[in-house]
Structure 1
């Protein structure tokens, strides 16, 4: 459904932000019998996020399946996000290792994805998509949020609901009005992105370079477009900015098995992110929930934000739908969502924040990455972690660590025995 009018009292949930997290949450809640007002500050239904890795990691696949978006993504040309990762020990190549097919998500431009999921929300019974509606304040009663005030094409209006959801990004207006601060973690890398047409990559799959401490990646997307990013240590920023395009090009040319950008067509500006701290906040407050980047913003170099946006929308819908529709204890449901969010995200965010310090690999990372470059089973294990299908405890479980140690000891023994490996 779409609309530009509402009594302000006809909804169970009001969501601020109709990008990935907000649109997904609206669909999933409405399918569970919840009446949703989905407010989007932008008036254009085709609006999309420009600065993004355009990656839906494999952890998002169950959400995409539930939303019914996979056929539409494949028809639009979304690229399965297989990947290989360069390290100083060689390439980690999960797809080349023997075994069953690996789980996958998709690389797809936000200009394709955002309008697609927003249109799906607009077509869902129980969802009122209200474009050009920007939240300007919260309505509170008894110490809890019971709705929002919004600037709309018809003027200032109120929308009352049992639950208010902030899906409005890392600088969430809902969080600001609610007084829910974010905890910030410094990111001591910067990033520049550019899009290229006609850029071949070996195997047609994504590439990531761990250069310690610098990073780079190239992700193929729909429409024959590849996003290339360079993510250096901030110490290099002053020199880099003296000649932005020259520095970007030189950085990419110097990569091992460098993408041939000189023979490709650059179809975008070189876009920079100079200061992008990681941020996380409490995922709930009385009458409030946060999803997507409003709850947790990680380091963009990992390409996990889109997948986590969809996952957090699903966790919220699963936890609160009955209570949001008036059939249960909403505070208890919100507490369940908060527990799931913390359990699933805390370990990943801790490791990402530590790696964002632009440091070389620590001893445990050296162990796992070097072994994964030498052993197919550990490369597949790395894929499961990089795709966020397993968390840090499973990635670093005693069996995996012992296997990595054995692989590296065997490799050292081969070298001492005269082998060229």
Structure 2
């Protein structure tokens, strides 16, 4: 292992140690190494094909530029990833975004199982010059010097050792050990829904696209993925959890059968266990400290019902790289660059997290949401606007701008007096 000097004459093993080799960590390692950094990519699991099981398996369109920069788009298409166009059920009917006549196609990301995506991205990181993929490395502590993080301690089957670096990146998920060792402040928002998901093969969906059901307060979604596998998730109000658990398989199936235009699960084959998200709070952490940065779920864990975590994992890796790469190359002060990353992270994601935390209280739509969702079910331009927000291409301020609310109001005024479909009872009320 080569070493180099930094200011003060100390030696470092790497420019960056990235802890966690899933989406955020592998992407950050690749992007940083391409900009000249020497990167140690640590992964606690020893299997290079390991993957995250509990996931929506969805990459929203905001992540497409990162996938493109990583060179992954052709590989995803070849692997059978499904472009994630979607339709959403509401009490006013289905919201079905479509491209405008003579307009551009709707932007898209991909649905792809993590069992396909994680090994694909990790292997690409391992082949990137400047990246050392170190499997079987469990981070057990941080090296601290003069009030800043200067490396990590990691245990392996051969024992414990230190890896020193100018920057340590925590990409180790919502229960981040790096954040815990650093004493990073965490804000927790309770999630008043629980969730269960399962994978099905041979589950047809209209047009082969993603479906979501807003049942106020219950939720459900079905995401078609690679290899003909669909991820089906139910997210009921937590008040229903005790009864739901009494007969998990029966409750899951009954919930799905009760959905409007329900996917025919009785004709499909379930190819996984029913996996639970019984207590899944939303977490927000300060994303930087001297010598340290958090990305992906380690920095912000949102509500899984929106399927945004994978996209934000990739985006945060790109934001961090753009902020710190010049400083790592000797062109600036690292801690100032980390503050720039923190500002970008806060500006881009805090509004989304605020809205998600509010909706996680398992309440019916508020008046603004009723306005926008009802208009989107009635008007294709409002539906396209909602599509851009759902794919996280615009933020809350633009989604709920005065112009957008005025347009939604005008749509609803035109439909005043029109017949409204009866509101089906959610599975909670059947």
- The verdict on a shared fold, with TM-score over 0.5 as the criterion, is yes
- Out of 196, 200, 208, the residue aligned to residue 192 of structure 1 is 196
Task: Write the distance in 2 (CA, Å) between the matches of 1:97 and 1:242.
Answer: 48
- Pairing of 1:87-126 with structure 2 (within 5 A): 87-95=90-98, 98=101, 99-126=103-130
Structure 2: distance between partners of 1:215 and 1:340: 31
Determine helix, strand or coil for the equivalent of 2:98.
helix
Residue of 235, 260, 269 corresponding to 1:231: 235
Partners of 2:62 and 2:319 lie apart in 1 by 13
Q: Does residue 68 in structure 1 map to residue 75 in structure 2?
A: no
Residue of structure 2 equivalent to 1:321: 325
Report the CA distance between 1:96 and its aligned residue: 6.5
CA deviations on 1:242-279 (whole Å, 9 max, x unpaired) are: 11100100000010110000000010111111100000
1:129 counterpart (99, 122, 133): 133
- Number of the residue aligned with 1:362: 366
**3-state SS of paired residue (2:234):** strand
What residue ranges of structure 1 are gaps of 5+ in the alignment? 417-421
Q: Distance in 1 between matches of 2:99 and 2:326?
A: 45
Deviation at 1:414, TM superposition (A): 4.6
TM-score when scaled to structure 2?
A: 0.94
1:419 paired residue number = none
1:182 offset after TM fit, Å? 1.4
Q: Any idea what SS the aligned residue of 1:104 has?
A: coil
2:293 equivalent to 1:289: yes
What does 1:9-408 correspond to in 2, within 5 Å? 9-95=12-98, 98=101, 99-408=103-412
Task: Please state whether the residue corresponding to 2:21 is helix, strand or coil.
Answer: coil
> 2:99, 2:105 within 8 Å by CA — same for their partners in 1?
no
Tell me if the contact between 1:82 and 1:95 (Cα under 8 Å) persists in the aligned partners.
Answer: no
- Alpha-carbon shift at residue 328 of structure 1 (Å): 1.4
Unaligned runs of 5+ in 2: 4-10, 421-430
SS in 1 for 2:173: coil
Using structure 1 for the length normalisation, give the TM-score: 0.96
Question: 1:160 Cα deviation (Å)?
Answer: 0.6
For the residue of structure 2 that corresponds to 1:12, the secondary structure is strand
Q: Distance in 1 between matches of 2:312 and 2:322?
A: 15
CA distance in 2, matches of 1:357, 1:135: 34
Q: Which residue of 1 aligns with 2:424?
A: none
Shift of the alpha carbon at 1:415? 5.4
Judge conservation of contact 1:12–1:325 (CA < 8 Å) in 2: no
Residues of 2 paired with 1:171 and 1:218: CA distance?
A: 26
- Give CA-to-partner distance per residue, 1:286-319, whole Å, 9 cap, x none: 1100000000000000000000000000000000
SS in 1 for 2:37: coil
Aligned length: 412
Cα RMSD of the aligned pairs, angstroms, is 1.3
For 2:197 and 2:349, the matched residues in 1 are separated by 26
CA shift, 1:413, in A, is: 4.6
- How far the C-alpha of 1:9 sits from its partner, in A, is 3.1
Q: Matches of 1:394 and 1:25 in 2, distance apart?
A: 29
Q: Give the drift of 1:325.
A: 3.1
Structure 1 residue 322: Cα displacement: 1.6
The 3-state SS of whatever aligns with 1:162 is strand
Post-superposition shift, 1:97?
A: 5.6
In 1, Cα distance between the equivalents of 2:385 and 2:169?
A: 35
> What is the CA-CA distance between 1:37 and the residue it aligns to?
0.5
